[in-house]
Chains A and B, each alone.
Chain A
Amino acid sequence: MSRREQILSTLRSTPALPTPAIRVVQLVQDPEVDIRELTEAIRYDPSLTAMVLRLANSPYFGAARSIGSVQEAVMRLGTNRLFRVLMASAVAPLAQLAVRGYDLAPGKLLEHAVGVAVAVERLAASLPKRAPNYAFTAALLHDIGKIAMGSHVRIDAKPIMDLAFRQNLSFEAAEREALGIDHAEAGAVLLELWNLPPHLVEAVRCHHEPDKAESDTLVVDLIHAADSLCLLAGIGSGADGTHYRPTAGVLSRLRLGTKLGERVVCEVASSLEDLTDLLTVSTGDELKCH
């Protein structure tokens, strides 16, 4: 079996990634909970978003059409079912917050995912055309493949980075060279297994190679540009550093240069400060996840 086939087989046996949904559980346990606040708390948590979308799209809930956003999922599930889903995901084994293979300390992947999601919203706001709602979801999930590759397949990014330097490859190209698959495709494979909508899968699959996207290039462009900015600014970066190549066509389509890039980075940094409360779990709960 090739390395790629081995990895694909491991991915197929990877369960939906649970998360310490402590904050959400705290909200759910409040009888006066505001459903909008709850939706917000889910939206900023990539693993939880994946879980909720996966369940909302599962045959059990009789999904007639694909659900691509948390708001739709909340409506489809209804408050009671949503609460059960959230509670179940909280008591399920807690997600390893650190992604060792990529040298991501606890909290870093989350910081990156939220940073990219916020950057996507800010970049979209600068455009005349409205971006679809699922852009935010896709941004949150864009690196979900790193969790699977780093924690389940247990790849080590360091020799891949060495290969990238030796052969003058971008990091994800070196992943393909070494493993036969990169973290973007691995993420797409997982999302496909979880029956998420194809356009969302496509956006995750193509986030480092936006010119390969066949549909909805706006979302792919937004994620690619937002990811480039967050990696550059060190927002949740790991062993792969800034070793990625931005695509010129994307930046010109989004009319994005250094100036707008700096403004977006500034806004993302401030939003991350504001979002800290929403994302923070107490230290005791955090320790349990290590």
Chain B
Amino acid sequence: MRVGIGGNNVSGQTGSLAVTHTVGISNMQTTGRPNDVLVTYSLGSCIGLTLLDPVAGVGAMLHCMLPLSKIDKAKADRNPFMFTDTGVPAMLQAVFDMGAERRRLIAKVGGAASLLDEKGLFRIGERNYTVLRKILWKNNILIAAEDVGGTVARTMYLYMRTGQTVIRSRGKETEL
């Protein structure tokens, strides 16, 4: 899906190009370039997950929408990144293929917001987060930091040069 801001923006001097890659909803992006920035916008109940192996210099960002792929298997086959249960394993495989090692992976999470929903009418964010934890746990990966829940939209950045994951919400930036 196209997102409003972004596309791929190139800035900086030739030789040290900093390229910003926008990760759309239901999408994932890996990078092995030291100056890349990965960004995803409009995280509501969706999960934003960053993985970084600082030694191999491999990073990735996932923006998945819904917890379980069983609601539409055909769609999950075409695009596993729409769902948490298929998106996270596919993302892990992609970073392993690029030389990342499980024991070095730093995982950070943003999103899983809810509405002002005191009665728990829609639990999409909560379910996304539960499924995520389960899959990471099965894969022996701990969550190093997170900013989840609440009623805010989040933007998430991964800066490969510094290894920082940053969340922007309500006009403020916070490093995870």
Please give me the residue from chain B that is nearest to A268 by CB atom: B65
> 19 A-B pairs, CB-CB below 8 angstroms?
A97-B4, A228-B115, A232-B45, A232-B115, A232-B122, A234-B45, A234-B113, A237-B153, A239-B171, A240-B153, A244-B115, A244-B116, A244-B151, A246-B115, A246-B121, A246-B122, A258-B122, A258-B127, A270-B75
CB distance from A161 to the nearest CB of B (A): 6
In Å, the complex CA distance between A152 and B117 comes to 31
Complex CA distance for A229 and B65, rounded to whole angstroms? 12
Does A170 interact with chain B (Cβ within 8 Å)?
Answer: yes
Write the residues of chain A forming the contact surface with B, with a CB cutoff of 8 angstroms: 97-98, 104-108, 111, 158, 161-162, 170, 228-229, 231-246, 248, 251, 257-259, 261-263, 265-266, 269-270, 272-273, 276, 280
A29 to chain B, nearest CB (A): 24
Number of A-B contacts (CB under 8 A): 130
The listed residue (B3, B82, B152) touching A105 by CB distance below 8 A is B3
**B36-44, B51-59, B92-100, B157-165: which one contacts chain A?**
B36-44
Name the one of A105, A233, A240, A243 contacting B46, with C-beta atoms under 8 angstroms: A233
Known contacts A234-B25, A262-B66, A262-B67; is-contact A242 B44 (Cβ 8 Å):
yes
Complex alpha-carbon distance, A239 and B155, angstroms: 11
* Separation of A266 and B83 alpha carbons in the complex (Å): 9
Interface string of B110-149 (1 = CB under 8 A from A): 0001111111011111010000000000000000000000
Distance between Cα atoms of A266 and B121 in the complex (Å): 18
Minimum CB–CB distance from A210 to chain B (whole Å) comes to 13
- Hey, what's the 0/1 contact readout for B63-96 against A, CB within 8 Å counting as 1? 0011110011001000000100000000000000
